[in-house]
Amino acid sequence: MPTGAYRKTPHTKPAVSQGALEQALCEGEIRAHYQPQVCSKTGAVTGCEALARWLHPKRGLLAPADFLPQIDAYGLTGCLGALMVENALTALSDWDRAGVYMPSVAVNFAQADLNRPYLASQLAWDIDRHSLAPDRLTIEILETVPNRPKNSVIVANIVGLARLGCGIDLDDFGTGHATLSAVRDFAVGRIKIDRRFVRGVHRAPRLQDGILATVAMARELGLQTLAEGVETPADLATLADLGCDVVQGFHIAPPMAASAMAAWMPRRKARSSSLWLTA
């Protein structure tokens, strides 16, 4: 279930009917928006993350918390997952044709998606159908996912996606219990530091110590680090000083529609890299 910034929560009484959600999925009201990920030192765009949004005909743009728990409750995660992947691959192809190069798009994959047989083969076909290189798609997995028996379907799919050439991000690092051996076995290329360790980092020495330790460990393992939830220039500057490679958050840009991203990218490229931290 590549859903964006949603984590499974206890089921409550659905506030949206199943029929309304099915219609929204079929008619494209629920779609991917894209949040840029940029180099902490230069501001250069390194990729983006696909996040689910619902453009409701009456209520306007809805955030994930307003509908994703109901998607899960009604068993529609597979439909949403397929939609998010197709949105991401279509956006990459459209941006390429428009002369706007986005290095990669990251899509969240939940346990239900990773447990689907032949997932790697299906994604290989989808990527080829869009005439894209596999490394243009990054798979985000939660830190708790790798702790599975080595003969499980989930393990086989993650290994298969890594062999295909897709990037593998370990999401929400610091909130689970991923082992170093799991990081190695799954060919993880980047660790995403959860937003709860990022917000207010400029004024929190304990958070800074944690970020510094994570960056040092990642470098020892040959991995990149990405801090999500960056919302202030002070936090951004601190993360850059601590050596975090990539940052993502509302201070850089909010999630936006594919067309808006196509307009935003040239403006970002035109900015002076030497001034971006203070701009």
The per-residue pLDDT for range 43-99, each reduced to its tens digit, is 999 999 999 999 999 999 998 899 999 998 998 888 888 899 999 999 999 999 999
Instruction: Domain 18-270: give its CATH superfamily.
Output: EAL domain (3.20.20.450)
Task: Give a three-class secondary structure readout of 239-272.
Answer: HHHHCCCEEECCCCCCCECHHHHHHHHHHHHHCC
Checking if the pLDDT of 3 tops 60, the result is no
Provide φ and ψ at 224, rounded to 5°.
-90, 165
Q: How many CB atoms lie within 10 A of CB 243?
A: 16
Give pTM, 2 decimals: 0.88
Contact assessment for residue 89 and residue 132, using Cβ atoms and an 8 Å cutoff: yes
Would you state the structure tokens that stand for residue 212, as one six-digit string? 């510094």
Q: Note the pLDDT of residue 146.
A: 56
Which DSSP state fits 202? G
Helices first, then strands: H and E counts in the chain? 10, 9
* Coil, helix or strand at residue 167: strand
Provide φ and ψ at 226, rounded to 5°.
-130, 125
Q: Note the pLDDT of residue 178.
A: 58
Residues recorded for the chain? 279
For the segment 135-156, the average pLDDT, to the nearest whole number, is: 78
* Coil, helix or strand at residue 238: helix
| Alpha-carbon dihedral sign for residues 203, 235, 34, 58 | positive
- Dihedral in degrees, nearest 10, Cα atoms 255, 130, 192, 261: -20
Question: CA geometry: angle at 120 spanning 118 and 121, to 5°?
Answer: 65
The residue with greater pLDDT, 175 or 128, is: 128
Q: Note the pLDDT of residue 205.
A: 94
Q: Note the pLDDT of residue 10.
A: 44
| Alpha-carbon dihedral sign for residues 222, 223, 224, 230 | negative
* Coil, helix or strand at residue 98: coil
**Nearest-angstrom CA–CA distance, 247 and 106:** 14
What residue spans define the domains of the chain?
18-270
Among 48, 53, 50, which residue's Cα sits nearest to residue 38? 48
pLDDT tens digit string along 156-208?
899 899 999 999 999 877 655 555 666 776 788 999 999 999 999 999 999 99
Contact assessment for residue 132 and residue 123, using Cβ atoms and an 8 Å cutoff: no
